[in-house]
Amino acid sequence: MRTPTVCSEYLVDLLQYIENRGVDASALIAAVGFTPEQHLTVDGRFPLRLFEVLLDVASVMLDDPFLGAHAGADSSPSAWGMVSYLGMSAPNSRAAFDAVAQFSRLLIDHGDVMYREHGSDLTQLIWVVPERKPVSRQLAEFFFTSWYRANKAILDRWCNQREVSFSHDGPTDRSEIERILEAPVKYNCDANFVEFDSHFLDRPTRFPHTGIYNSLVQTARAELAKLQMEDRIVKDVIACVVRQLPDGVPKLDDVAAELGLAPRTLQRRLNNTDTNFKLLVDDARKQRSKQLVGDGEMALLDISAELGFSDQSSFQKAFKRWFGLAPGRYRMSQQLSNNSSS
């Protein structure tokens, strides 16, 4: 439910790169239709979909099909911040790459980074994104080249073999992106990943320091928990709405009071998600209605009152909108299904 975001450092680096290439801020704002800085959250995050828009529009404005890769390679290592320092202080490269896998959401809060063994000698660091929310070519190349820049010293020191694969289409001539990544590049693969020598994982880092590493891990976990808090607020709001429905459909102020939050605070946190309070109320009623109708213990009239509907007719229409069947027919189909399976 959380709106996918990128860290503010990525936004700053991208805007600086675009400006350095001759596109001033007013021209970019006119082209994309929004002012980027106005969309930063209070926690310093920027919506992923708007970041993709910036990449795609800048690619056209600069006539640069490799804009994402160029901007990623030009981004400051500071964008990786804590994740970069974790890699530097880790006891070995395996721990350093574990930090990337665990905390990549601090950079791009979308999908997951994980390891995948490929044969006996090769390991893949793969970026798994939801099938229903794929990322653009420019974003994938930006992320991988920025990762490469942040880890170049380690890669150059120990990794003799590496290759980068992307799931999207790409130009036939790959010489430019291979120059940027200093590695072979493949397109139209089953995922976005970096493949490298497995023995590289057991090599020591340049500045191993157990105390610093452990301290940074705790800090990174706290930051990640803070980022994931918006997922919890959605679940908490739905549960609270369900509890309050028997007394009528609650208002945002009622839910905020039960959760111990100021209404403006709750509204701000919901603004960081893919939903809003009205949709969450609808979701709560939908979830609760499916449970109550499926149980078969309450009369439909009582369920209508339990869910805060003014009359049974309104409940019937809402239920049919949610599930495609009137509640009575849905209950009958569930009972027939249960009888046939028993």
Asked if residue 319 lies in contact with residue 327, where contact means CB atoms within 8 angstroms, the answer is: yes
Whether the CA torsion 258, 259, 260, 264 is positive or negative: it is: negative
Q: What is the pLDDT of residue 276?
A: 86
**Residue 107 identity:** L
Q: Is 70 exceeded by the pLDDT of residue 153?
A: no
Which pLDDT tens digit goes with each residue over 165-217?
Answer: 999 999 999 999 999 988 899 999 999 998 888 877 777 777 888 888 889 88
Q: Which is higher by pLDDT, 69 or 134?
A: 69
Quick one: average pLDDT of 140-155?
80
∠ CA 230-233-234, nearest 5°, is: 95
Alpha-carbon span 196 to 123, nearest angstrom: 6
173 CB-side CA count, 13 A: 4
Query: Which neighbouring-strand residues pair with 128?
Result: 112
Threshold 0.75, pTM exceeds? no
Alpha-carbon span 116 to 55, nearest angstrom: 29
Quick one: average pLDDT of 275-288?
90
Asked if residue 166 lies in contact with residue 186, where contact means CB atoms within 8 angstroms, the answer is: yes
Q: What is the pLDDT of residue 269?
A: 77
Q: Which is higher by pLDDT, 35 or 77?
A: 35
Quick one: average pLDDT of 121-141?
88
Q: What is the pLDDT of residue 158?
A: 64
| E strand or H helix that includes residue 193 | strand 192-197
Q: Is 90 exceeded by the pLDDT of residue 3?
A: no
Among 57, 88, 47, 51, CA closest to 72: 51
Among 203, 223, 213, 140, CA closest to 177: 140
Alpha-carbon span 86 to 80, nearest angstrom: 10
Q: What is the pLDDT of residue 2?
A: 63
Q: Is 70 exceeded by the pLDDT of residue 80?
A: no
% of residues, the chain, pLDDT over 90: 40
Q: What is the pLDDT of residue 155?
A: 67
Q: What is the pLDDT of residue 54?
A: 97
Quick one: average pLDDT of 56-75?
95
Look over the chain and give the mean of its residue pLDDT values, rounded to a whole number: 86
Alpha-carbon span 45 to 268, nearest angstrom: 13
User: What CATH number was assigned to the domain covering residues 5-208?
Assistant: 3.90.1520.10
Q: What is the pLDDT of residue 203?
A: 78
Domain segments of the chain: what residues? 5-208, 229-341
Which pLDDT tens digit goes with each residue over 9-32?
Answer: 899 999 999 999 999 999 999 999
229-341 adopts what CATH topology?
Arc Repressor Mutant, subunit A (1.10.10)
